[in-house]
């Protein structure tokens, strides 16, 4: 049996703030780098960064390969003062 659902207006987001396209998709934009780590494999080291995206919470941050993020967002790494 179906029940009537009353939505909570505090959970709605305006589509203008997310910039939804006509095909109902949007591009996630890197908002902040939270953490950096280097994982050692047998033959190489892989640098990863924990990334906070624009429309997500801290709990939803993801680990991304640092080299890929440098290619997509070079302006975030220019003044970082690399310690390698």
Instruction: Provide the domain count of the chain.
Output: 1
23 falls in which pLDDT band (50, 70, 90)?
Answer: confident
pLDDT at 17 over 70: no
In a domain, 49, yes or no: yes
pLDDT at 51 over 90: yes
In a domain, 83, yes or no: yes
38 within 8 A of 47, measured Cβ to Cβ: yes
In a domain, 8, yes or no: no
pTM for the complete prediction?
Answer: 0.60
In a domain, 67, yes or no: yes
In a domain, 25, yes or no: no
Q: Where are the beta strands (DSSP E) in the chain?
A: 30-40, 45-53, 62-65
User: Can you give the pLDDT at residue 67?
Assistant: 92
Domain housing 73: 34-84
In a domain, 14, yes or no: no
């Amino acid at each position: 049996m179906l029940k009537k659902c009353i939505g909570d207006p505090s959970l709605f987001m305006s589509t203008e703030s997310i910039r939804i396209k006509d095909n109902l998709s949007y591009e996630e934009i890197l908002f902040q780098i939270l953490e950096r780590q280097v994982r050692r494999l047998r033959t190489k080291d892989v640098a990863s960064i924990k990334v906070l995206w624009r429309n997500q919470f801290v709990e939803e941050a993801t680990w991304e390969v640092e080299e890929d993020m440098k290619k997509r967002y070079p302006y975030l790494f220019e003044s970082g003062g690399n310690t390698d």
